[in-house]
């Protein structure tokens, strides 16, 4: 596949900005701040454009053009939010903001209960006996013990002594294992990003050499 000079130039710009970001590993410097400002500016411009064409245009402007004037209420509320740009009239923006927060909170209460609380409770209701595979039985017992001991650690109505205290100490180990696994997963995700950036540098050299006719 032919590689144009414009493609190579774009790849080198990306490589230079990546090196500017990596320079923060040494210390804060103007190159890092330049790349940071470029990233923030480009991201803001990109999301503003996508927000207009993918959200505002089809969901508001197109509906108003079709004659559905119910969406004029949303337009008015959106205009009231813009009043926060002027400190003298910033209080006007509190009304649509309160409306948005109330709707969002009411929706997420139901969503959180269904997707997290009830789902997690149902996942802990497992069969402890008569499983076809002994590994499934062991896994279910680990889930049961982990849940009960973790709850015992956060049960502060009684002093952590005796059985409650021993269960709470086991719960600490369960929590530490959970936090360690979560941290390891996060590190692996960041390592995969680093690997992707290193492979990007490889693509830069490969496409540059192909453009120069070296290989």
Say what the pLDDT of residue 2 is: 66
Give the pLDDT score at 46.
Answer: 96
101 within a domain of the structure (yes/no): no
User: Which whole number is the average pLDDT over 111-133?
Assistant: 83
Establish if 180 belongs to a structural domain.
yes
- Say if 110 falls within a structural domain: no
Q: In whole angstroms, give the CA distance from residue 161 to residue 167.
A: 9
Residue 103 belongs to some domain of the structure: no
Q: Read off the tokens for 32.
A: 């890092």
The residue from 17, 49, 67 where one domain ends is 67
- The reply to whether 200 falls in a domain is yes
If asked whether residues 137 and 214 sit together in one domain, one would say: yes
Q: In whole angstroms, give the CA distance from residue 79 to residue 85.
A: 11
pLDDT, tens only, 135-151:
888 888 998 899 999 99
Distance CA 51, CA 61 (A): 13
* Angstrom distances, CA of residue 22 to CA of 11, 32, 183: 17, 8, 22
The predicted model scores a pTM of 0.66
For residue 83, being part of any structural domain is answered with: no
Q: How far apart are CA 11 and CA 200, in angstroms?
A: 8
Pair 133, 212 in one domain: yes
The better pLDDT of the pair 40, 2 is held by 40
- Tell whether the model's pLDDT for residue 23 goes beyond 90: yes
Domain co-membership, 141 together with 213: yes
Answer whether residue 3 shows pLDDT above 80.
no
Residue 180: which domain range?
128-215
Is the residue at 24 inside a domain?
Answer: yes
Q: How many domains does the chain fold into? A: 2
Whether residue 212 sits in one domain with residue 135:
yes
200 has a pLDDT exceeding 80: yes
70 token code pair: 């119910």
| 197: in domain | yes
Element (H, E) at 84: none
Characterize 70-88 residue by residue with b for buried, 16 or more Cβ atoms within 10 angstroms of its Cβ, and e for exposed: eeeeeeeeeebeebeeeee
């Amino acid at each position: 596949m032919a590689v144009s000079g414009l493609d190579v130039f774009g790849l080198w710009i990306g490589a230079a900005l990546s090196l500017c970001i990596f320079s923060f590993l040494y210390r804060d410097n103007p190159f890092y701040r330049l790349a940071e400002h470029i990233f923030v500016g480009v991201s803001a411009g990109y999301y503003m454009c996508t927000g207009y064409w993918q959200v505002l245009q089809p969901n508001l402007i197109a509906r108003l053009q079709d004659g559905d004037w119910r969406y004029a209420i949303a337009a008015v509320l959106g205009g009231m939010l813009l009043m926060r740009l002027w400190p003298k009239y910033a209080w006007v923006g509190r009304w649509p903001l309160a409306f948005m927060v109330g709707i969002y909170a009411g929706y997420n209460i139901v969503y959180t209960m269904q997707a997290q609380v009830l789902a997690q409770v149902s996942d802990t209701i497992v069969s402890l006996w008569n499983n076809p595979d002994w590994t499934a039985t062991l896994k279910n017992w680990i889930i049961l013990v982990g849940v009960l001991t973790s709850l015992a650690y956060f049960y502060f109505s009684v002093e952590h002594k005796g059985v409650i205290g021993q269960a709470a100490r086991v719960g600490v180990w369960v929590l530490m294992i959970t936090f360690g696994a979560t941290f390891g997963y996060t590190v692996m995700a960041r390592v995969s990003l680093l690997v992707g950036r290193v492979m990007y540098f490889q693509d830069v050299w490969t496409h540059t050499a192909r453009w120069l006719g070296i290989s």
